[in-house]
A and B are shown apart, each in its own frame.
Chain A
Amino acid sequence: MIRSQVLICGGTGCTSSGSQQIQDAFEAGIEKYNLEDEIKLVRTGCFGLCELGPVVIVYPDGTFYSRVTVDDVDEIVTEHLLKGRRVERLVYDDHGKAEADEFGNIALSDTTFYKTQNRVVLRNCGVINPEDIDEYIAMDGYAALGKVLTEMTPEEVIQVVKDSGLRGRGGGGFPTGLKWSLCAPNKADQKYVVCNADEGDPGAFMDRSVLEGDPHSVIEAMAICGYACGCTKGFVYVRAEYPIAVKRLTIAIEQAREYGLLGTNIFDSGFDFDLEIRLGAGAFVCGEETALMTSIEGNRGEPRPRPPFPAVKGLFGKPTVENNVETFANIPQIILRGADWFASMGTEKSKGTKVFALGGKINHTGLVEIPMGTTLEHIIYEIGGGIPNGKKFKAAQTGGPSGGCIPASLIDTEVDYDNLTAIGCMMGSGGLIVMDEDTCMVDMAKFFLEFTVDESCGKCTPCRVGTKRLLEMLDKITSGKGTMEDIDRIEELCNYIKTNSLCGLGQTAPNPVLATLKFFRDEYIAHVVDKKCPAGVCKDLLTFTIDPDKCIGCGLCARNCPVDTIEKTDYVAPKHKRPSYRINPEKCIKCGACMSNCKFKAISKQ
């Protein structure tokens, strides 16, 4: 009889920090102490708190071990599993902020990271074994599909989704129910459901985690969508860079077929539905719906003009519904718990919850799901644990290369589709990159623009040439050769690219530049007029200098300089015995090696 279950995170984050080896060590330890009949190991999807990975949870106590190493496993097995004593040094104590219960346990749901989250999409992530369909069914899995097929008409299903107020989670925020109702009446011999799992934003990993942690929820939702819209075939377009997600999804589809939850005559209702996986080669543009469909068809992933919209003429020229992973993952819960329940969360025009991938300069890097309308301040300081090393928050980038930044002055913004659009940002798919005072906003805009220049498919001129020219102008500014006219021309070009590009990639590519120009114009001006980078990032505008009075002449900087540009002077400062050093600015490559090696803080950059 199993008396205890050990859950080991098998998300990509924890796997890359060694959770597979930890699982092997647990297996060995359990065998060594003959605990096979008492302890069960479960490999789950992402728990969310990736920063503390690899994560191990022991049930029924609910003990949460963080940053476990292979060497710790033996201690956990002999102490906790065998003798029932928690290994206190590995227990996550939330920096003393969470209260323990009478047994000294800190429940995961009581830590500041999880307390104010509301997990709908991620409800099974880190709870079930994603490779075991029975565990999903035990958590009411496939009950929604059963309910839809046996009790509801397609029209009723669409009405529930409409009433729930669910909007597309891929970034655009188009009402999902409306999308379905546009496709449903179109007659054709074959109609398709497509799941967009081509998550390309740098720093975003929401969809990957859902596919890794709860693949069946997406499969179930696609079947529900197929029933509602009259489609019998589905495709999941997922990046080949997500091997764990692809593997678990493949297993899940096979298991669903075995159980008759995919295939013909599902639940004896006469409804047929089957799924296939298509691997994307990692082009950012393939996240755009028309390019994605072109890619599934086997052609080069390039967008095509709309109309005709996919609902009329999509994949293989047939009516198609295309939704994002997170959108789909909401559907089974909406069906089971009702549109009113879903609509009770969130703000007036943005219902439900949103998953964000927290990254950048933040203490709790990881995956969070919060109700729409939560303030940015709450996300960063409460859930995210604030900025490391006591630095000041400067801005947060939402929507990756298609979005904009929210400056510190707007930190009390309630995050939902309309509020973000109103301040010139966008919700995007959910990447949330936090930046502190050491980030140069011009450099940041340049980084995202470099990404879009690389990823532009080249089909339309405004995007292909426009973004390239835009990048050149930004380059000019960060290298100190910019003029005030350049700033105006940048703005003009941005607006031109936005209005004239063919697809979403080009239409949103200038957003990071426009947002930083709006909120951090003074930084651009500092680069142009004062030829200074206020954050000390843009190398061409930096000079490293040694304060001769602070320099004790140890020579450590000179020895570490990769280009031998630091030399001894004749000047000996009072109180010091040896002559000081100086940097020859002509040869300096501004790597900063001297500064990080100086123990006397004699070197400064400006």
Chain B
Amino acid sequence: MKDRVVLRDGMEGTRVVVGMATCGIAAGARPVLNAFVEGVNKEGLESSVSVTQTGCIGICQYEPVVEVFEAGQEKVTYVKMNPEKAQEVIEKHLKGGQVVGEYTIGAVTA
């Protein structure tokens, strides 16, 4: 039954923030957000990872944008996300601790 109240525990641990402004939604941020919420719960990460949304991040051409904040580490920005990529980020990054380099903003703009 803990899952019914775990959202109210506060924002400890890792935060996954999905850009959900008009530009993000138009680019398909909603399925990405839902993929993250479902994936995190499926993997049993809900007590250490919180999934939230934010407004426009400012790089509309790269939407859907997802940022991952971990305590003591640099922010990781994933761009042009889709539900499949989200699944991979959950598997490799959130679970395995390995940043999925090919989807980050650095890989796209470099």
| A interface residues, Cβ below 8 angstroms from B | 1-5, 7, 38, 59-62, 82-85, 101-103, 105, 107, 109, 127-128, 132, 134-135, 137-139
- Assuming the contacts A84-B53, A85-B21, asked whether A138 and B5 have C-beta atoms less than 8 A apart, the reply is yes
Bound together, the chains give a CA A372 to CA B50 distance in angstroms of 36
Can you list 18 A-B pairs with a CB-CB distance of less than 8 A? A2-B37, A3-B34, A4-B52, A5-B7, A7-B8, A59-B8, A60-B50, A61-B11, A83-B21, A83-B22, A84-B18, A107-B10, A127-B5, A128-B5, A135-B4, A135-B5, A137-B1, A138-B5
A contact residues around B10 at 8 Å (CB): 60, 62, 107, 109
- Contact partner, A83, options B15, B41, B50, B53, Cβ 8 Å: B53
B76: interface (CB < 8 Å): no
Q: How far is the CB of B32 from chain A (nearest CB, A)?
A: 12
Q: Which of A2, A5, A84 has a CB less than 8 Å from the CB of B20?
A: A84
- CB pair B55–A85 under 8 Å, yes or no, is yes
Q: Is the CB of A60 within 8 A of B7?
A: yes
A38 and B36 alpha carbons, distance in the complex (Å) = 12
- B11 engages A60 (CB within 8 Å): yes
Which of B22, B37, B52, B54 has the most CB atoms of chain A within a 10 A radius of its CB?
Answer: B52
Contacts of B17 in A (CB 8 A): 103
Chain A residues in 8 Å Cβ range of B2 = 138
> Please, which residues of chain A bring their CB within 8 A of the CB of B33?
3
Q: Give the complex CA separation of A138 and B41 in angstroms.
A: 17
Residue of A nearest to B3 (CB): A138
B60 at the interface (CB under 8 A from A): no
Q: Which residue of A lies closest to B35 (CB)?
A: A1
The 0/1 profile, CB within 8 Å of A marked 1, for residues 65-102 of chain B is 00001000000000000000000000000000000000
CB-contact partner of A1 in B21, B34, B53, B54, under 8 A: B34
Tell me the complex Cα distance, A590–B27, Å.
Answer: 69
Mostly, the B contact residues are mixed
User: At the interface, is chain A mostly helix, strand, loop or mixed?
Assistant: loop
Q: Is B25 located at the chain interface by the 8 A CB criterion? A: yes
Look across to chain A and name the residue whose beta carbon is closest to the beta carbon of B36.
Answer: A3
Is the CB–CB distance between A1 and B20 below 8 Å? no
Which A residues lie within 8 Å of B25 (CB)? 82-83
Give the complex CA separation of A61 and B50 in angstroms.
9
Chain A proximity of B65: nearest CB distance (Å): 12
Counting chain A CB atoms within 10 Å of each CB, the highest count among B7, B19, B37, B55 belongs to: B7
Q: A60-B11, A83-B53, A83-B55 are in contact. Are A135 and B1 (CB under 8 A)?
A: yes
Cβ distance A449 to chain B, nearest Cβ, rounded Å: 45
Question: Max chain A CB contacts within 10 Å: which of B10, B15, B69?
Answer: B10
The interface residues of chain A lying within 8 Å CB-to-CB of B55 are 83-85
B38 touches A1 (CB 8 A): yes
Q: A1-B37, A3-B33 are in contact. Are A84 and B21 (CB under 8 A)?
A: yes
Interface: B51 (CB within 8 A) = yes
Q: A2-B7, A38-B34, A109-B10 are in contact. List 9 more A-B contacts (CB 8 A).
A: A4-B7, A4-B52, A83-B20, A85-B21, A101-B11, A127-B8, A137-B1, A138-B4, A138-B5
- Which A residues lie within 8 Å of B5 (CB)? 127-128, 135, 138-139
CA distance A414 to B30 in the complex (A): 53
How many Å from the CB of B104 to the closest CB on chain A? 20
Q: Chain A residues near B1: list those with CB within 8 A.
A: 134-135, 137-138
CB distance from B16 to the nearest CB of A (A): 10
B54 touches A62 (CB 8 A): no
Give A103 to B67 CA distance when docked, in angstroms. 12
Chain B residues positioned under 8 Å from A59 (CB to CB): 7-8
A96 CB to closest chain B CB (Å) equals: 22
Q: How far is the CA of A138 from the CA of B4 in the complex (A)?
A: 8
Q: Which residues of A contact B18 (CB under 8 A)?
A: 84
